A and B are shown apart, each in its own frame.
Chain A
């Protein structure tokens, strides 16, 4: 069973659309992450929230906007995406650097 839940599993959107990806965990983890993963590549870190505050932003374009409403939820708001943004978007959570991250199964995003 996946302890980190992501919705939707698949998303197709046009370049002018606005959509949101959602992530939820109930393990009490203090850190939550967004990753982008292209085919046959490792996950690429986008954002990290620790204690509900944005602690890492890896120079991600502003068309991606993260939000952490509470300690269990993480959103990624999407607007005016480009075709190269098509990828698997993974959410993860963790307790700290000596502990592993727990990943959701991702949202497969396709930009038309």
Chain B
């Protein structure tokens, strides 16, 4: 069955340090992949998406992700963490069966220390 696995339910970094949030997917067809961020008491907001164009995708707020088919990964990175990056991050893949369903990972909570 199709799935998304986010390694690490919690990640803690110091302000100014590299942010790396890991996501692995399973799909029998070329996937459409997304990273969303959720701040407290808000809905999910799109950070970036991969839809089979460039493998290195740039998103908002300085985030980027690289699609690696051989590793079935789509890890999210940011060179320098800011306090405002503290939030919940979800990796997601569109359902390969078609239609409009999206499969979400379990989420990773990012903590940023001053």
A and B assemble together: yes
Contact-residue bracket for chain A: 20 to 34
How far apart are the CA atoms of A92 and B104 in the complex, in Å?
Answer: 14
Interface residues of A in 87-112 (CB under 8 A from B): 90, 92, 94, 96-106, 108
Give every chain A residue within 8 A of B34 (Cβ-Cβ): 100
CB closest residue in chain A, given B47: A100
B18 at the interface (CB under 8 A from A): no
Among A4, A31, A41, A42, the residue within 8 A (CB) of B43 is A4
Residues on the B chain within 8 Å of A33, using CB: 100
Candidates A4, A43, A48; contact of B100 at CB < 8 Å: A48
Q: Are A105 and B94 in contact (CB under 8 A)?
A: no
Indicate whether A42 sits within 8 Å of B95 (C-beta atoms), given known contacts A33-B100, A55-B100, A94-B100. Answer: no
Q: Which interface class (under 10, 10 to 19, 20 to 34, 35 or more) fits B?
A: 20 to 34
- The smallest C-beta distance from A72 to any residue of chain B, in angstroms, reads 17
Cβ-based interface call for B51 (8 A):
yes
A103 to B43, CA, bound (A): 6
Chain B contacts with A in 56-114, Cβ cutoff 8 A: 88, 90, 94-95, 98-102, 104-107, 109
Asked whether any CB of chain B lies closer than 8 Å to the CB of A13, the reply is no
Instruction: Answer whether A42 and B90 are a contact pair too, CB < 8 Å, given A100-B34, A100-B46.
Output: yes
A102 CB contacts on chain B under 8 angstroms? 46
List 19 extra interface pairs beyond A43-B104, A45-B101, A99-B49, CB under 8 A. Answer: A2-B43, A31-B100, A42-B104, A42-B107, A48-B100, A55-B100, A56-B100, A92-B43, A97-B32, A97-B101, A100-B34, A100-B36, A100-B46, A100-B49, A101-B102, A103-B44, A103-B45, A106-B43, A108-B41
User: Using a CB–CB distance below 8 Å, which chain A residues touch chain B?
Assistant: 2, 4, 31, 33, 40-43, 45, 48, 50, 55-56, 90, 92, 94, 96-106, 108
- Residue contacts A-B, CB under 8 angstroms, 22 given: A4-B43, A41-B106, A41-B107, A42-B105, A42-B107, A43-B44, A45-B102, A90-B44, A97-B98, A97-B102, A98-B51, A99-B49, A100-B36, A100-B46, A101-B102, A103-B43, A103-B44, A103-B45, A104-B43, A105-B43, A106-B42, A106-B43
